Amino acid sequence: MSTEQRHQDVAAYALGVLEPDRARLFERHLAGCALCAVRLVDLGGTVLALAELAESWRRP
């Protein structure tokens, strides 16, 4: 898997939808990639907003 593909995995990782093996590969990449670390932090608010939205849809 290319470095570019790992950069593209940031959103899927943040959402928790990467397969376990691919998530482990991404975590190894993340340990040395400041760009992905910043992107992951930036996505934190989006992930939280999506979780809140999903929760609001479950409420009657």
Which pTM was predicted?
0.76
pLDDT digits (tens, 9 = 90+) for 5-48: 667 899 999 999 999 999 999 999 999 999 999 999 999 888 88
- pLDDT at site 2: 67
If pLDDT is split at 50, 70 and 90, which confidence band does 3 have? low
Q: 3-58 has which fold?
A: Arc Repressor Mutant, subunit A (1.10.10)
Structure tokens at 16: 């928790």
CA separation for the pair 60, 11 (Å, rounded): 29
